[in-house]
Amino acid sequence: MRNFLAAALIALGLLALPVPIVAQDTDDPLQALLQENAALVANASRQTVQTVLDALIASDLPTVPAFLARWQARDVYQRSSDGLFVLVEDEDADPLTLLTLSTGQVVGTATSRELDHLRPNRGVQDLIGAALVQFQLGADDPAERTRALDNIARTPAASHLPMIADMVANETDPALRDTAQWLLTRLSISYGQDDAVRVSAIESLSGDLRVEARAALNPLLTTRTRVAETLPDNINIARVLTPGSDALSMTDAYAMLVDAGLAPPRVTATARRDALIANISDGFVGGAPVHTLETDAARMDAYDALVVAGLAPPTISDAEAATVIAAHVFFEQYNEASAIVTTAAADTVAAINARVTALEMVDLSLDGLSLASIYFLAAIGLAITFGVMGVINMAHGEFIMMGAYTGYLVQSLVPDYTVSIIIALPLAFAVTFGAGVAMERSIIRWLYHRPLETLLATFGISIALQQIVRQIFGAQARPFTPPDWLAGSLDFNDVVSISYIRIAIFGLGVIFFIVLWLILNKTRLGLEVRAVTQNPAMAASMGINPDRINMLTFGLGSGIAGIAGVAIGLFAQVTPELGTNYIVQSFMTVVVGGVGNIFGTLAGAGMIGFFQKGVEWLNPSNTLAAQTYMILFVILFIQFRPKGIIALKGRAAEM
């Protein structure tokens, strides 16, 4: 009886012990397969993991895709005691709840010390992802198919080619089909079954402007420089090099011969000196007393003696080196073996580059047109003021700055960016119109026909306005944010694009041009302005008040500068120095175009804008050079056409 009780207690104790995972998961075919390759799974590397992946794929188990995804995500653990692979429910829990690989059922708990966390490195993760793609490509979830295509793009292989071709034929999502088609082209270029397939894929990219297209073709055109006694016949040669040319110097050519074992290395001056020092014995070297080796010729004779004695390597003269070089042929060899493929790639890249160059000219023209629009807005008010009144207004830039700050203040009060701009445009005109009238009435009216005093006075006003704004708003830039519909750019293709703000400024410039033309040509005010411009004395005799016209004209020019400031502030930093960045260009625009003429201002803005962008394109690393060359261009231009592109008759013509 006592033995029976003891046996019963032992049995109950065994039942109370945790059931090992082995007993609960050994029937899982996936677990069994992993156990057969346990060491390779636990210590996966790029060199060994493919064996496991091939076995998993060949098994056709439905649980393999989910396992590969979890393995790639570093979610798999191995229990140290029995070597079985499991998942955990919550990695931060203690103890950890263990789950089976296939069903996700809870099978027990363990501490982190009892588990080994499998952390495949990036290379192993890429290989797992490459194996996973064949399952993901056929998934119902578009996100899964997208991830599969991303994995293939990162680690393409020849085995992916038939899978991608099948996806292109059956994919229903247009965006995914386009991505798959691009990958099919890329894979066909690298792994096509024959040259005809590869050439067809290459030629299909002839109109493709994407950087990725050139990135797919450029590896086919990579070369390595080689040297041989005669030019080989069985390799794909890019070009033969001439030693001594820019492509291959004589020094580099001889170094290639040395590296190829076709010529002995040349002895440098340092090596000769070291050899002489190493062979000094009893005050002699090479049979000559050391104290006599004061010249290069003496040292060379001593070194030659060492060569004869076999104590130093012989020297190679320039003539001897040239003879050895002339006895060999140097050439660049394509890394791609097929000449048909490299020829097609070179032709396609040349066609793409030619089209890119043409489109870059279009894009440059759009940039020049955009910059011309900005200069036109900044200068049109100055053109009216300068042309009608002959006043050199150095404070014109500060009216632009005032307009930008008006936009900033309105936007700080009106959170809707679109509404704030609509309010800011007329308000900026009113503010700067009033400021211009006040400045004309208080200062400018007393300085007519005194250009130097006017210049100095307006320059002083410019500095004063900057300091006033700096005291009120501070020196830091203030935000003036464009609305969402002005964010981004209009992209015609991968080369040509223009921002929506620049388009809006161009449209604003067109509107200003039309409105000002109508004012100057279709209204009584415009008639009186033109009369005062052409002959102020005669206009006064006809009942026109030149003093009033000058006041309104100066106010109009200042108001236009304020509106320009709102437009410029949308993309430039709103600071007290904002106007100084445009005052010089504004004066150059007016002078080149012809003072007092809106057509001339338009022409001047176009000429300066396109010229500046052209210089920046030729020298993109130095934008300051564009400003310098632009000033030099204006100086030369006015030497040949001092009245500007479109000269105005009247007072402006006499200036």
Q: What is the pLDDT of residues 226-252, one digit of tens each?
A: 999 899 888 999 999 999 888 899 989
Task: Label residue 85 exposed, middle or buried (CB < 10 Å: 0-12, 13-18, 19+).
Answer: buried
User: Do 475 and 373 have their domain in common?
Assistant: yes
DSSP 8-state class, residue 478: B
Amino acid letter for position 410:
V
Which residue, among 121, 126, 155, has the nearest Cα to 44 in the 3D structure?
Answer: 121
Residue of higher predicted confidence among 376 and 535? 376
User: Do 471 and 564 have their domain in common?
Assistant: yes
**Last-in-domain residue among 99, 123, 147:** 123
User: Do 504 and 564 have their domain in common?
Assistant: yes
Task: Label residue 478 exposed, middle or buried (CB < 10 Å: 0-12, 13-18, 19+).
Answer: buried
Q: What is the mean pLDDT of residues 641-650?
A: 70
User: Do 482 and 539 have their domain in common?
Assistant: yes
Gyration radius (Cα) of the chain, Å: 40
Residue 272's contacts (CB-CB under 8 Å, 6 or more residues apart) are: 299, 300, 303, 312, 315
User: Do 448 and 541 have their domain in common?
Assistant: yes
Q: What distance in Å separates the CA atoms of residue 349 and residue 577, rounded to the nearest whole number?
A: 46
Which pLDDT belongs to residue 437?
A: 92
Q: pLDDT digits over 461-518, tens only?
A: 999 999 999 999 988 888 888 888 888 888 888 888 888 888 888 888 888 888 888 8
Instruction: Tell whether the torsion through CA atoms of 269, 270, 275 and 280 is positive or negative.
Output: positive
User: Do 487 and 518 have their domain in common?
Assistant: yes
Query: What token pair was written down for 623?
Result: 């934008």
User: Do 455 and 531 have their domain in common?
Assistant: yes
SS3 content of the chain, % helix, strand, coil (to 5): 65, 5, 30
Cα separations in angstroms, 77 against 46, 106, 107: 19, 14, 14
User: Do 389 and 449 have their domain in common?
Assistant: yes
**Last-in-domain residue among 579, 594, 623:** 579
Whether residue 265 is preceded by a cis peptide bond, meaning omega within 30 degrees of 0, is no
Q: What distance in Å separates the CA atoms of residue 89 and residue 43, rounded to the nearest whole number?
A: 23
Residue 241's contacts (CB-CB under 8 Å, 6 or more residues apart) are: 225, 247, 248, 253, 330, 331, 332
Q: pLDDT digits over 551-579, tens only?
A: 888 888 899 899 989 988 888 889 998 88
Residue 333 confidence class, pLDDT cut points 50, 70, 90 = very high
* Exposure class string for 306-322: b at 16+ Cβ within 10 A, else e: beeeeebeebbeeeebe
pLDDT of residue 141 exceeding 90, the answer is no
Q: pLDDT digits over 386-437, tens only?
A: 766 677 888 888 999 999 999 999 999 998 888 999 999 999 999 999 999 9
| 42 lies in some domain | yes
Which pLDDT belongs to residue 486?
A: 85
Helix 160-170 vs helix 174-191: angle between axes, to the nearest 10 degrees?
150
| 632 lies in some domain | no
Query: What token pair was written down for 165?
Result: 């071709």
DSSP 8-state class, residue 319: H
User: Do 100 and 210 have their domain in common?
Assistant: no
Task: Label residue 122 exposed, middle or buried (CB < 10 Å: 0-12, 13-18, 19+).
Answer: exposed
Which pLDDT belongs to residue 403?
A: 92
Query: Are the C-beta atoms of 610 and 363 separated by less than 8 Å?
Result: no
Percent of the chain with pLDDT over 90: 20
| 271 lies in some domain | no
User: Which of 3-7, 40-44, 74-78, 511-515 has the least mean pLDDT?
Assistant: 3-7
pLDDT of residue 38 exceeding 90, the answer is no
User: Do 86 and 156 have their domain in common?
Assistant: no
| 128 lies in some domain | no
- Residues pairing with 225 in the sheet: 332
Which residue, among 358, 363, 372, has the nearest Cα to 630 in the 3D structure?
Answer: 372
User: Do 157 and 68 have their domain in common?
Assistant: no
| 542 lies in some domain | yes
Residue of higher predicted confidence among 493 and 118? 118
Quote the mean pLDDT of the chain: 84
Tally the domains of the chain. Answer: 3
Task: Label residue 297 exposed, middle or buried (CB < 10 Å: 0-12, 13-18, 19+).
Answer: exposed
| 290 lies in some domain | no
Through-space distance between the first and last CA atoms of the chain, rounded to whole angstroms: 133
Q: pLDDT digits over 265-298, tens only?
A: 888 888 888 888 888 888 888 788 888 888 888 8
pLDDT of residue 223 exceeding 90, the answer is yes
| Cβ atoms < 10 Å from Cβ of 17 | 7
Residue of higher predicted confidence among 388 and 635? 635
Q: What distance in Å separates the CA atoms of residue 231 and residue 333, rounded to the nearest whole number?
A: 11
pLDDT of residue 622 exceeding 80, the answer is no
| 453 lies in some domain | yes
| 560 lies in some domain | yes
Give the alpha-carbon dihedral of 645, 647, 651, 652, to 10 degrees: -10
User: Do 377 and 510 have their domain in common?
Assistant: yes
Domain extent, residue 208, equals 137-221
Which pLDDT belongs to residue 146?
A: 86
Which pLDDT belongs to residue 22?
A: 40
Q: What is the mean pLDDT of residues 18-25?
A: 43
Concatenate the DSSP letters of all residues of 6-70 into one string: HHHHHHHHHHHSPPPHHHHHTT-HHHHHHHHTHHHHHT--TTTHHHHHHHHHHHT-TTHHHHHHH
Q: Give the three-class secondary structure for 115.
A: strand
Q: pLDDT digits over 91-108, tens only?
A: 878 888 888 888 888 888
Q: What distance in Å separates the CA atoms of residue 382 and residue 368, rounded to the nearest whole number?
A: 21
Query: Are the C-beta atoms of 112 and 94 separated by less than 8 Å?
Result: yes
**Last-in-domain residue among 517, 548, 579:** 579
